[in-house]
Structure 1
Amino acid sequence: MSDTILESEGLELTEAAAGRIKEQLSKRGHGLGLRLGVRKSGCSGYMYTMDYADEIGEDDDVFEGHGAKVVVQHKHMQVLGGTTVDFRSEGLNRMFRFDNPRARNACGCGESFMI
């Protein structure tokens, strides 16, 4: 497990995203943070995956910001490195958003992207 990733290779967590993670963990009653990953899918190649992180494995990288944690399997960092995780409210929609500098050619539905 690596807790010291260079900022340019790591993840940044906005205050809004950290607040949402803490809120969801509080409602759930347990968990260490958000588990973020990617999988091959969609019309453009990759899509983001999210779940609760209940444990930290040897192959996980841990990023902390504003009192919340994001856990990512190290193998996903080649796609996720440099990403800013945000949480936004847009009209009636409330969602996590990912500003990934490696993402190119997002599909029209916004669910998948290429690198």
Structure 2
Amino acid sequence: MVFTQAELEYLGTQRLGRLATVSADGVVQNNPVGFFVDAGTIVIGGHALGASKKFRNVQRGSTVALVVDDLASVDPWVVRGIEVRGTAVALSDVEPPVPYFSREVIRITPTRIISWGIDGPRSSRVV
């Protein structure tokens, strides 16, 4: 299993993350994105995703990092989240994860997962 059960449960409660990609000339881009977990991978979707810089960056071979985090409490201050680093592919003409998204998606295959505040102490592992 790529994600722990606690990580899957956490990701299932979240709808937005921030996806970082790198352009061919080395410029980092970081944008909020909608995501879904599918068979151990992360699927990024959106409106007109195929026209976006992040989609083009992935088409050109960018590695990616997706961060999903939130505040479980502000008193006491309790943060939790997960970072998924990995390889990605930009796919066209696929069934969108939800009806109002475009037919382009980015599929992330994790190579490293870092989580905190989800299930015990900070965890970092190569998958």
Structure (1 or 2) with the greater strand fraction: 2
Q: Structure 2-normalised TM-score? A: 0.29
Higher relative contact order (CA 8 A, sep 6+): 1
Q: Structure 1-normalised TM-score? A: 0.31
